[in-house]
């Protein structure tokens, strides 16, 4: 957010910058979740923000939470950790607060807001990625329990998570046959696969989750049977706003680095930024960052006010993810060979930015949604 109007939440992770940025290149290289860096995030209060005080939350608004995540993106060069942190807020806590029973909220929300239980949500399946309305994992009711069978894929945080929100089929084909259940990691029949090797966001572990005769009490269902799609829609709007607010902070930091480099690196007797070819790239980066900011906070406010924002959320997701990729690409070019070296962290940003056009619904699917909302 612009400095003059940034909520006080923006800077809450800033005091932990040294801890968060310790040896980021090493952690990226080994591709492991940095457990010790979770602790400063817990201490910062980041995970408490949008939750009610009775569950250990700070009772802050959606846009105040976005500002904190933007601040995290600006402070922390570990985009994988940042992504895992925004997943922590949105995957279980947000739907649990909005749709969980009082008993479920009381039992699990304090573990989420403290960050003691790392959380994940499992929607995607090996055979159904974009075609999410046709997922096949089933939950069949038997008395006071449901029995779940199926498999989930590419689940962020799964290798380290203690709590999972599972989107499964309880009824007829299509969107209104879906329901949502909360499961603890050690529930018999729930198996988490080995972490999958990835191109970017390498400190945010993803894996498969297999469900074989997983028995969950009826009380672990969020909302009514068939409410899974409505819950998913509610969650995905906030996932886009939270995870891409992180990207805004990362882009703002990147732009500052690029301006500093372009004004200090001398070639042919002057700063490289004096060349129009370089300066125009930086101008385009600035436009991309400010466009991303406008879309994010305008859409965030609409969602916060309960207005219809389906088209806005889809557009925001496209604008910010593509701005992130463009600015990361320009940064490498402007840094030259130094940008290509792993040690400077510039090339890592391009690898990290690549995932943004895939997760939270691919950009093709978002464009399909916008077209459909326009009656096409």
Ligand X SMILES: Cc1cc2nc3c(=O)[nH]c(=O)nc-3n(C[C@H](O)[C@H](O)[C@H](O)COP(=O)(O)OP(=O)(O)OC[C@H]3O[C@@H](n4cnc5c(N)ncnc54)[C@H](O)[C@@H]3O)c2cc1C
Is residue 358 involved in binding ligand X (CB under 6 A)? yes
Residues 331 and 254: beta-carbon distance below 8 Å? yes
Specify the residue, 156 or 247, whose C-beta has the smaller distance to ligand X: 156
Site pattern 178..207 for ligand X (x: CB under 6 A): -----------------------x----x-
Count of helices and strands (H, E) across the chain: 13, 10
Q: Which stretch binds ligand X (CB under 6 A): 106-114, 227-235, 255-263, 362-370?
A: 362-370
Q: Write out 89-111 in H/E/C secondary structure.
A: HHHHHHHHHHHCCHHHHHHHHHH
DSSP element (H, E) containing 81 = helix 79-88
- Please state, in angstroms and rounded to a whole number, the distance separating the CA atoms of residues 253 and 349: 11
Strand partners, 190: 211
Angle CA 320–115–59, to nearest 5: 70
Is residue 169 involved in binding ligand X (CB under 6 A)? no
Is residue 129 involved in binding ligand X (CB under 6 A)? yes
Size of the site for ligand X (CB under 6 A): 20
Specify the residue, 279 or 365, whose C-beta has the smaller distance to ligand X: 365
- Please state, in angstroms and rounded to a whole number, the distance separating the CA atoms of residues 60 and 49: 5
Q: Minimal distance in Å, beta carbon 361 to ligand X?
A: 6
CA pseudo-torsion sign 182, 185, 190, 193: positive
Q: Which stretch binds ligand X (CB under 6 A): 22-30, 54-62, 177-185, 357-365?
A: 357-365
Residues 327 and 288: beta-carbon distance below 8 Å? yes
Q: Which stretch binds ligand X (CB under 6 A): 102-110, 120-128, 209-217, 337-345?
A: 120-128
**Secondary structure of residue 206 in the 3-state scheme:** strand
Exactly one of 15, 130, 172, 372 binds ligand X (CB under 6 A); which one? 130
Q: Minimal distance in Å, beta carbon 155 to ligand X?
A: 5
Site pattern 271..300 for ligand X (x: CB under 6 A): ------------------------------
Rounded to whole angstroms, what are the CA distances from 146 to 150, 171, 309?
A: 13, 12, 34
Exactly one of 121, 221, 238, 281 binds ligand X (CB under 6 A); which one? 121
Q: Which of 64, 70, 208, 239 is catalytic?
A: 239
Is residue 243 involved in binding ligand X (CB under 6 A)? no
Specify the residue, 12 or 161, whose C-beta has the smaller distance to ligand X: 161
Rounded to whole angstroms, what are the CA distances from 13 to 9, 37, 49, 147, 218?
A: 9, 12, 12, 41, 38
Is 239 marked active-site? Answer: yes
Q: Minimal distance in Å, beta carbon 322 to ligand X?
A: 14
Residues 71 and 12: beta-carbon distance below 8 Å? yes
202's tokens: 């390498």
Q: Which stretch binds ligand X (CB under 6 A): 148-156, 171-179, 243-251, 307-315?
A: 148-156
Give catalytic residues, as residue numbers.
239
Interacting residue ranges for ligand X, rule: CB under 6 A: 120-124, 129-130, 154-156, 201, 206, 355, 358-359, 361-362, 364-365, 368
């Amino acid at each position: 957010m612009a400095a003059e109007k940034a909520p006080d939440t923006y800077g809450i992770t800033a005091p932990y910058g040294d801890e968060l940025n310790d040896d980021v290149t090493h952690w990226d290289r080994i591709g492991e979740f940095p457990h010790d860096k979770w602790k400063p995030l817990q201490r910062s209060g980041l995970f408490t923000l949008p939750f009610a005080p009775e569950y250990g939350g700070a009772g802050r608004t959606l846009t105040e939470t976005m500002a904190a995540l933007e601040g995290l993106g600006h402070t922390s060069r570990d985009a994988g950790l940042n992504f895992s942190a925004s997943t922590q807020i949105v995957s279980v806590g947000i739907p649990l607060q909005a749709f969980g029973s009082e008993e479920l909220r009381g039992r699990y929300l304090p573990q989420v807001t403290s960050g003691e239980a790392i959380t994940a949500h499992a929607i995607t399946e090996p055979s159904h990625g974009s075609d999410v309305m046709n997922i096949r994992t089933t939950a069949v009711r038997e008395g006071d329990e449901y029995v779940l069978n199926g498999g989930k894929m590419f689940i962020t945080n799964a290798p380290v998570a203690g709590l999972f929100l599972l989107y499964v089929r309880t009824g007829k084909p299509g969107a209104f046959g879906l329901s949502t259940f909360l499961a603890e990691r050690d529930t018999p029949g729930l198996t988490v696969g080995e972490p999958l090797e990835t191109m970017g966001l390498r400190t945010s572990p993803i894996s498969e989750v297999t469900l074989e005769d997983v028995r969950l009490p009826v009380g672990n269902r969020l909302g009514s049977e068939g409410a899974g799609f409505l819950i998913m829609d509610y969650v995905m709007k906030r996932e886009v706003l939270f995870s891409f607010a992180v990207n805004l902070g990362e882009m703002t930091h990147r732009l500052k680095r690029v301006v500093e480099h372009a004004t200090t690196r001398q070639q042919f007797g002057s700063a490289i930024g004096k060349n129009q070819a370089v300066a125009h790239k930086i101008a385009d980066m600035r436009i991309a960052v400010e466009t991303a900011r406008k879309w994010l906070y305008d859409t965030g406010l609409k969602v916060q006010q309960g207005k219809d924002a389906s088209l806005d959320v889809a557009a925001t997701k496209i604008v910010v993810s593509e701005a992130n990729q463009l600015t990361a690409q320009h940064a490498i070019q402007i840094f030259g060979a130094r940008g290509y070296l792993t040690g400077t962290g510039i090339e890592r940003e391009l690898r990290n930015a690549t995932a943004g056009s895939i997760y939270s619904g691919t950009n093709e699917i978002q464009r399909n949604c916008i077209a459909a909302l326009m009656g096409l």
